[in-house]
A and B are shown apart, each in its own frame.
Chain A
Amino acid sequence: MKGSLHPTTIFIRDAVKVFEKFGFDVFEGPEVDTEWYNFDVLNVPADHPSRDVQDTFWLKDGQVLRTHTSNSQVRYAERRKPPIKVVIPGRCFRNEATDQKHETTFYQLEGLYIDKDVEVGHLFWTLENFLKELYGDSVEVRFRPHHYPFVEPGMDVDIKFRGKWLEVLGSGMVHPTVLKNMKIDPEKYSGFAFGMGMDRLVMLRYGIEDIRQFYQNDLRFLKQFNS
């Protein structure tokens, strides 16, 4: 009798499969990282309130548990030359009390594309097509301005789910400071980046009500995903 894949794994695979079609590489970065890669390099200075947006687990040795997969953007790009096209799935952490809707542990999928003449329209095309592959052609997609320090401009992406707009992705055009930190000349190249939280989307897909289920490892739960 077959066992089962974790529902988050199934979702990550579905997402990766789409980006594979668009020609993206897949990379996995470290879960424990330096403040530099998790924050500073991404234009999130220590003395700026945008750091408070994240509740960070700090380690006694000064490292952090990554608060997003964005920590791996610069790690991946600084060792390569454009065109850079990668998605980065992985586990992230948030230092907060847990309940039905909040978890210390969650999964994100990061994306990064850098080349000559990358425009906002490329970002929109990529995400809209990704969401259509995932949720069907009829899904409505909306881009909304939002602030993330590592992109400019930044946008949130919503889909219409049961008649309501639902935020599914954060994205934007890579900030010139971040490009410089990748050792890429922002005068010559531009790019986009995006990140999406997986757990909530998996919950929506199957109607799972409690986010903590993902890490309880109750086989009565897990074995339902034995496709």
Chain B
Amino acid sequence: MKVSKQWLKEYVQIEVPDSELEDRLNKTGTEVDEVSAGIHPLVVVAEIKKIEKHPNADRLQIAIVTDGEKEYEVVCGALNIEVGQKVPFAKIGARLPEFSIEEAKIRGTVSHGMLCAPDELGLGEDHSGIMILSAQYELGKPLAEYLDQDTVFELEVTPNRGDCLSHFGIAREISAFLHGQTLKKEPISLQMSEEKADKVISVNISNSEDCPAYMARIIKNVKIGPSPLWLQEKLLKVGLRPINNIVDVTNYIMMDLGQPLHAFDLKKVQGSSIVVRRAKNDEKLLCLDGKERVLSSNILVISDSLGPIAIAGIIGGENSGVTPATTDIVLEAAQFNRKVIRKGKKILNVNTDASYRFERGIDSQGVEYALNKAAKIMAEICGGKILSGIVKESVVQPKIKIDIPTEKIREFLGITINNNEMFHILKSLGIEIKDGRAIVPSWRHDLSIWQDLAEEVGRIFGYNKVPLIPLPKTPKPPKSAFYIKETVKDNLVNLGFSEVKNYSFLSADEATIAGIKTSGLLEVANPLQPENRYLRNSLIPGLLKNISKNSSFDPVLIFEIGQVFSKEGESSMLGLAAAGKNADKLLEKAKSELLEKYNIKKHDLVVSKLTNDQAQKYKIRKPQTLFFEVNIDGIKKIKDNLDLKISNATIHYRKVSKYPSITRDLSFIVDAAVDASSLIDTLYTISENINRVELFDEFKSDKLGKDKKSLAFHLYLQDLDKTMIDEEADEIIKKAIEIIKKKFNATLRDK
């Protein structure tokens, strides 16, 4: 939800800078996603000195503008500019809502900035031409000094805090944490005509649990038209599109006070009674979004004598909507049951700003106030007459009271705070305290237990003042199954296998390729993508896909430890595959290691060989591919300890190019004392195009010289933007040899 600082300031004094307000909102639980601080200071007032034709483009002009100090040449597409006009000029480096200004060459001419249309500055939607400024604006001054000094905060309000979905709600929070004061609403006085609203219509609620309060006012002789600018601007700022004066006021009040409202065209309401009731099965309503919806008894509707005219709290009906011809309106403000609205919007699959607020809970005591404020503004800007009286039906809602265990709260939070301070915080949030108990305000639907009060105290007091307390020492628990699985990984990595993680899903195609019958698989009821349709019952299809994908590696040695699923349940599996050079030997080694170190039974570990048919389906071209899969639920380790191995080695992560890479091998003879890892570290520094350095051979031999050893590396060379070519690879290798020779006193070993 977006809130404007100027709007908030109608309710609460804000003397702190935006950055501090952002910080305080964050620290008290209203997360700030984004702050847009109006017009950037590098957008200044400039005057047009000269306009020339662009040499290479008919539709472009070149404007020479001055900020009073310097002249700038700017390419401009709009044709509404004239010499002598003052215009907004965004200098190089200015940040606009949609983009930043850089020096740019436009059709061969360099543009040193940009002249702006209103929409480009975030001032409405007008893009018809460059904004022409008042001649009185001073040259070179930031435009923000004249226009729009507002800051808009984009907030994330958690689902428990429906009361924060409005400017008033946020202002109430700010007032509590900035000033320690409870925010109160100004009373509203209305001028009303003699005619009585209840003589025109009546309201009838069929079940007060569905709708604890329904109120309506009638305003006659309104003139539908566009809203005044102040209202349009306010709505645009918080991301709403102005529609017409009546609808705009309902949206304005919703953003202002959090109370959704709805306006009906009185002349289209049939009969004289508005009924709030459950829909009958198969009743239909063409809604304001142009869609016809089929209703059922789960859906609450507003009905006239003929049938539904709105889906309560969710969306209005076309049959009773306000149009340019409307003259008399029924303005509705109500409280609907949160669960009923939630169920209704789920069934109908429609989300509106109104349903969003109703399902989170509105202020039951604020309905009438919002109705009055809306009526007042409507009468002011639409020229109508408010009929006297409110047509309403409502039930009294009991107040929730919570004991305040002050001592417990102090201990729980670990803070030093006396009762008075604690009560003061609660009161600043509008929580009344009577006989030592907290009375939950009508707008707070999230307070019911003392821990909820503790949170209110803690978040306003400040979590940064909570002292840290070390955990008491407890005996070390025995090492669980998790550790055993991790040792399996270590063993396999030591044998040259790499751990993969495949998705837990199978598509129908993947199941077919793997020859898996889908009837035994668990099936996802609501997959967004076909790949997520079934849950895997084996790790093998994933491993074979991985082998196919990594065709440039020989051998490919991989394993995965993960969950597989069937209608009988879920189990932990180890899957392993080897393909290519020495695959059989390498896989055999892994197998015997597992059998030796763990209580895996030999007959459970059956190695399969990829058939030609499978190889074709998976597009695997390796001469031999072998794999196995074994259940490791309840696996035990026979030898060794279960310590988690943590490596301290530096990992040189480099992005993998989409384009083909080149592999080169390099062997060096160095002093036996030289550490291979320091050579690796150095090699990485030689070029960003070295994706990976892999030590594949290290041995000592007298043949190499006394106390000498050989180190052999694979170097994987890539280019992030294109295919790596031999010439570039040669260049990198040449440089690598030079540097390693010099730095490590190394010699290159002939192959």
Contacts and interface: CB of A to CB of B under 8 A. Distances in A.
Contacts of B652: 224
Given A23-B475, A47-B343, A115-B472, A217 B480 contact: no
A207 B692 contact: no
Interface stretch (B142-150, B518-526, B605-613, B622-630): B518-526
A209 B343 CA distance: 39
A83 B498 contact: no
Contacts of B718: 220
Contact of B470 (A8, A125, A155, A156): A125
Nearest to B340: A47
Contact of A214 (B411, B501, B527, B651): B501
Contacts of A146: 29, 31, 158
A37 B274 CA distance: 44
A124 B458 contact: no
Nearest to A96: B528
A27 B414 contact: no
Contacts of B694: 1, 223, 226
A30 B526 CA distance: 20
A119 B414 contact: yes
B459 A91 contact: no
A195 B644 CA distance: 21
Given A25-B480, A60-B524, A219 B413 contact: no
B99 interface: no
Given A3-B496, A222-B500, A59 B525 contact: yes
A95 B504 CA distance: 13
Interface in B602-659: 644-656
A125 B468 contact: yes
B506 to A, nearest CB: 13
B412 A190 contact: yes
Nearest to A10: B647
Interface stretch (B65-73, B315-323, B548-556): B548-556
Interface string A131-144: 00000000000111
A144 B29 CA distance: 6
B339 interface: yes
B31 A144 contact: yes
Contacts of A47: 338-339, 342-343
Given A17-B646, A152-B451, A143 B570 contact: no
B158 A147 contact: yes
A1 B474 contact: no
A63 B466 CA distance: 40
B653 A219 contact: no
A147 B524 contact: no
Contact of A91 (B161, B468, B504): B504
Contact of B550 (A3, A24, A219): A219
Given A32-B570, A121-B414, A225-B651, A49 B342 contact: yes
A143 B653 CA distance: 31
B570 A30 contact: yes
B471 A28 contact: no
B498 A4 contact: yes
Nearest to B30: A145
A175 interface: yes
Interface in A5-62: 5-6, 8-10, 13-14, 16-17, 20, 22-28, 30-32, 47-50, 52-53, 56-61
Interface in B668-726: 691-692, 694-696, 716, 718
Interface in A170-227: 173, 175-176, 190, 206-209, 213-227
A215 B455 contact: no
Contacts of B523: 59-60
A60 B339 contact: no
Contacts of B545: 217
B412 A119 contact: yes
Contacts of A150: none
A27 to B, nearest CB: 6
Interface string B520-545: 00111111110010010000001001
A166 interface: no
Nearest to B526: A58
Interface of B: 26-29, 31, 158-161, 338-339, 342-343, 359-360, 411-414, 446, 449, 451-452, 454-455, 458-459, 463-464, 466-477, 479-483, 486, 489, 492-505, 522-529, 532, 535, 542, 545-546, 549-550, 553, 556-558, 562-563, 565, 567, 570, 644-656, 661, 691-692, 694-696, 716, 718
The 9 A-B residue pairs with the shortest CB-CB distance, nearest first, are A145-B29, A153-B455, A147-B158, A227-B647, A206-B653, A121-B469, A227-B649, A125-B468, A25-B477
21 contacts: A3-B499, A16-B644, A24-B477, A31-B565, A31-B570, A32-B563, A95-B528, A119-B469, A121-B467, A124-B466, A124-B468, A153-B455, A154-B455, A190-B412, A206-B653, A215-B502, A217-B500, A217-B558, A219-B556, A222-B499, A224-B691
Interface of A: 1-6, 8-10, 13-14, 16-17, 20, 22-28, 30-32, 47-50, 52-53, 56-61, 63, 65, 83, 85, 89, 91, 93, 95-98, 104-105, 113, 115, 117, 119-122, 124-126, 128, 142-147, 149, 152-156, 165, 173, 175-176, 190, 206-209, 213-227
